[in-house]
Structure 1
Amino acid sequence: MSKVTVLVVDDAAFIRDLVKKGLRSHLPGVQIEEAINGRKAQQILARVDIDLVLCDWEMPEMSGLELLTWVRSEPRTAKVPFVMVTSRGDKENVVQAIQAGVSDYIGKPFSNDQLITKVKKALNKAGKLQLLAQQASKPTAASAFGNDSLNALTGGKAPVVNTPPPVAAEAFAAKPAAKAASSASKAPPAGRGQGTLRLPNSSCDCVIKALSLKEAQLVVKVQEQLPQVLESAVLDLQQGADNEVARLNGYLHSVAAMENTPSSEWLVVVFRFVDKDPQKLDYLSRLIARGSVQKHYSPGA
């Protein structure tokens, strides 16, 4: 029986790991290939039968759009489902991808549920989802979870594990409503720039306290749904007289209260970048050199 194989293409190792973990957890039996850019993906597609491509847009050497164009031009791969996984959600980018023959679109940041829903849709349309379910249901010596795997693929729900929030976040859960109301009018802390932090299920404005080529130190207001460490996110930086926007992919490296008190209204979030795109790194360099953000920031200082 042939295997169902998914190719994950992204220059950021963290994003590839996130996607692979989600696929293996929800789609038992799936085979996964990975590539760090479009050029490497071409080599894999030339020698391996791929059933679905999950691809980032912005990558060095060959972008996702260039890879998509090549895939659609090759008779061997022309009909392979191609899902773009990217923070480029603007209308003109979506139109570009559609014109190039994209099968579907997943916006960053994304949750596991969003990812798996899109993947199942693409595999089902290609007639591969049932095959994957059959693979997962075959008992093997290495696994005693065949029935559970089939159930997960065909609509059964796996048990939900409630992960406790980070220690820094627990202090906010019991904050009295009166205290929160009395401090709601406090002005945000001073910063060196502004941006928007986009999480899988929410977004919030943030103040950029410090910035380096590797990470940003952000201050965000406490919300009902607290950000979690290692959660994937996208940071939209808006800087300069022309309000230039840089869209940076990454994850939350740490989350802590700004003040050592349960009534603190603000969180300090360290957002670590995963992009390797030279254009984004150049933009960050220009922001730092411009002086609109702190020039020197030492992680852990």
Structure 2
Amino acid sequence: MSKLNILVVDDARFIRERVTSMVRESFPDFTVMAVENGTQAIRAMQQKQFNLILCDWEMPETSGLDVLQWCRAQDAYKQTPFLMVTSRGEREYVLKAIQSGVNDYLGKPFTREQLVQKMVKALSKRQQLSPEQQARAKAMLDDDQKAKPQSAPAKSMAKPKGLAQLRNSKQTFRCAIKDLNLREVKVVIKNEGAFPQVLEQVVVDIEQLSGDSVARINGFVTSVQATEQKLDAAYVDVLVSFMDEDPDKMAHLSKYIASVR
């Protein structure tokens, strides 16, 4: 079997740990190294040869695009599979990554199934993945269907402090912001029978009441609660803890919080 070296690059610790865990569970014979920024990633690649790079785009100082462009300028990394991981899905960002030589694009938030499928596709093209490894990875994906959302009573709805979109790997929820600080946001969504799951990775697109976008914040769901003690409650509260450590995003978010207090 192939024993491959995988490099995970993300400035959010929760995402680094989650991706590392996903890879190790699905490919236990792989060696996984995780670093928190692009500068550390380049330093690691200068010291060791990696077979696959899983890299965040939005990082301070050295971005994922910078890392990708550095890789393609090195003989040792011209052909190495590079998966760009990001919450940005606009066409121009995708095109920049493609033009710089990215192999594939994984949008946040994502499931283990989506991550593993991308890895299998990238490694299989270079015949670096054995049939046994592919079979074992597919068998591990069944666990992703087991988690269930939690619900509990909560306080009644308050006047919203803004609008947002809450995105998981399957759909987008339009929501109103009930409370917000630099660590977490509580939003309310309409009960349409589908909810984010507790501990699920999500992206919150926070907007001004006028509709102007403020920031895309990476986070994970810490609670899902009905707004009424009724089985058919019309609305559901979702509490999301932030994972982003980008100082620019936090500065932008601070200004927005001050404007709605």
Normalising by structure 2, we get a TM-score of 0.90
* 1:101 maps onto 2:101 in alignment: yes
Q: Give the secondary-structure state (helix, strand or coil) at the position aligned to 2:19.
A: helix
Q: Deviations over 1:228-270 (max 9, x none)?
A: 1100001111116471341111110111111233232111111
Equivalent position amino acid for 1:265 in 2: A
Q: Give the secondary-structure state (helix, strand or coil) at the position aligned to 1:168.
A: coil
- Distance of 1:50 and 1:196 partners within structure 2: 36
- Distance of 1:159 and 1:242 partners within structure 2: 39
RMSD: 2.3
Instruction: Map 1:180-259 onto structure 2 (within 5 A).
Output: 190-239=159-208, 241=210, 243-259=212-228
- Distance of 2:58 and 2:218 partners within structure 1: 10
Residue 8 of structure 1 and its aligned partner are, at CA, apart by: 0.5
- Distance of 1:222 and 1:65 partners within structure 2: 39
Q: Give the secondary-structure state (helix, strand or coil) at the position aligned to 1:129.
A: coil
Equivalent position amino acid for 1:48 in 2: K
- Distance of 2:147 and 2:246 partners within structure 1: 34
* 1:49 maps onto 2:18 in alignment: no
Equivalent position amino acid for 1:106 in 2: L
Q: Deviations over 1:62-99 (max 9, x none)?
A: 11111111111122222211110101110011111111
Residue 226 of structure 1 and its aligned partner are, at CA, apart by: 2.3
- Distance of 2:140 and 2:220 partners within structure 1: 27
* 1:278 maps onto 2:261 in alignment: no
In 2 relative to 1, CA 239–24 (structure 1 residues): closer, same or farther, beyond 3 Å?
Answer: same
- Asked if the contact 2:149/2:196 (under 8 Å) is kept, the reply is no
- Distance of 1:288 and 1:199 partners within structure 2: 23
Equivalent position amino acid for 1:257 in 2: A
Structure 2: which 5+ runs fail to align? none
* 1:11 maps onto 2:11 in alignment: yes
Structure with the greater alpha carbon radius of gyration: 1
Q: For this pair of structures, how many residues does the alignment match?
A: 258
Q: Deviations over 1:140-159 (max 9, x none)?
A: xxxxxxxxxx6324x55765
Normalising by structure 1, we get a TM-score of 0.79
Structure 1 runs (4+) greater than 4 angstroms displaced: 155-162
Q: What percentage of aligned pairs have identical amino acids?
A: 40
